């Protein structure tokens, strides 16, 4: 995209957001939001006219591999839009997809790039209770669900928070727990849970880790009994 010949106004937007982007999909990154929006349009513009609807790209890891190979073939028939009389090339589709991206963002957020959303504004995670959280009754869902939480990450990267192409950028799969295990000193290990340790909606530990998870935070993951007892908040004693 950085080498594609664009209209000057589009080129200015591209250069502002993508020319010096560090390729990190942090929640506060506007560049990540622009790229992912472009990625959505690029896949649809490339494959929508060639594949039945059931096989339209969902944007997962295999599509990165497919596109990585395809960009090396600028005149591949995959680039041609069968719904037009012209014969499109790779650069035509890249330019179209970016034009659509800018137009769509401007329509929703205005023409001032400073007002455009960061990735976390689009890429949110909502934790829905598996029993009552999908009841369809709004007051009940409010009691049992938590979110949305702004978060970073994306498909096929270490901070794996996926979303489904063609619907929204909302997180629809994620790591329920993250761990960093120090095999040289297990007590130096860290962990982060998505919501909390309790399954009771009104318990303080039902959702006390949710914001920490969204920010890719961690808590100590103790391994030896002495450290666990010392750091324990309380004790549950089970007697017959």
Per-residue pLDDT tens digits for 90-122: 999 999 999 999 999 999 999 999 999 999 999
Percent of the chain with pLDDT over 70: 100
**Structural domain contains residue 129:** no
**Structural domain contains residue 138:** no
Among 206, 204, 150, 214, which Cα is nearest to 178's? 214
| CA distance readout (Å), 28 to 39, 53, 118, 137, 139 | 18, 33, 5, 33, 31
Local structure of 148: helix, strand or coil: strand
**Structural domain contains residue 179:** yes
Alpha carbons 180 and 218: distance in angstroms, whole number: 9
Residues 97 and 183 in one domain: no
Question: Encoding tokens for residue 73?
Answer: 């073939």
Which are the contacts of 181, defined by CB distance < 8 A and separation ≥ 6? 189, 221
Among 56, 42, 36, which Cα is nearest to 122's? 36
Question: Encoding tokens for residue 30?
Answer: 């506007």
Q: What is the mean pLDDT of residues 191-201?
A: 91
Alpha carbons 92 and 96: distance in angstroms, whole number: 6
pLDDT of residue 236: 86
pLDDT of residue 35: 97
Question: Is residue 167 pLDDT above 80, yes or no?
Answer: no
Domain boundary among 79, 94, 114: 114
Contact 172, 163 (CB under 8 A): yes
**Structural domain contains residue 217:** yes
- Domain residue limits at 14: 8-114
Phi, psi of 162 (to 5 degrees): -85, 160
Question: Is residue 11 pLDDT above 90, yes or no?
Answer: yes
pLDDT of residue 108: 96
Domain boundary among 65, 97, 114: 114
Residues 102 and 200 in one domain: no
Question: Encoding tokens for residue 230?
Answer: 């010392």
pLDDT of residue 32: 98
CA-based end-to-end distance of the chain: 68
**Structural domain contains residue 229:** yes
Contact 89, 75 (CB under 8 A): yes
**Structural domain contains residue 95:** yes
Angle subtended at Cα 193 by Cα 126 and Cα 129, rounded to the nearest 5 degrees: 40
- Report the number of distinct structural domains present in the chain: 2
Question: Encoding tokens for residue 65?
Answer: 């591999």
State the greatest distance between any 2 C-alpha atoms of the chain, in Å, as a whole number.
Answer: 80
What are the pLDDT digits (tens) for 125-150? Answer: 999 998 888 888 999 999 999 999 99
**Structural domain contains residue 59:** yes
Angle subtended at Cα 140 by Cα 197 and Cα 123, rounded to the nearest 5 degrees: 65
């Amino acid at each position: 995209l950085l080498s594609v010949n664009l209209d000057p106004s589009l080129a200015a937007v591209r250069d502002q957001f993508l020319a010096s982007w560090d390729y990190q999909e942090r929640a506060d990154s506007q560049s990540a939001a622009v790229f992912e929006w472009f990625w959505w349009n690029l896949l649809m513009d490339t494959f929508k006219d060639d594949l039945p609807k059931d096989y339209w790209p969902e944007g997962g890891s295999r599509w990165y591999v497919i596109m990585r190979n395809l960009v090396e073939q600028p005149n591949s028939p995959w680039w041609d839009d069968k719904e037009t009389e012209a014969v499109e090339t790779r650069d035509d589709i890249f330019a179209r997809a970016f034009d659509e991206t800018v137009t769509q963002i401007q329509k929703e957020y205005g023409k001032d790039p400073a007002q455009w959303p960061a990735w976390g504004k689009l890429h949110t995670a909502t934790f829905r209770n598996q029993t009552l959280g999908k009841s369809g009754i709004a007051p009940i869902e409010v009691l049992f669900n938590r979110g949305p939480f702004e978060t970073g990450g994306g498909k096929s990267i270490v901070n794996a928070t996926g979303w489904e192409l063609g619907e929204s950028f909302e997180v629809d799969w994620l790591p329920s727990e993250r761990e960093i295990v120090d095999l040289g000193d297990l007590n130096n290990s860290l962990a982060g849970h998505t919501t909390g340790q309790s399954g009771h909606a009104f318990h303080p530990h039902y959702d006390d880790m949710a914001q920490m998870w969204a920010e890719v935070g961690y808590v100590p993951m103790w391994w030896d009994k002495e450290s666990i007892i010392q750091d324990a908040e309380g004790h549950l004693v089970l007697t017959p």
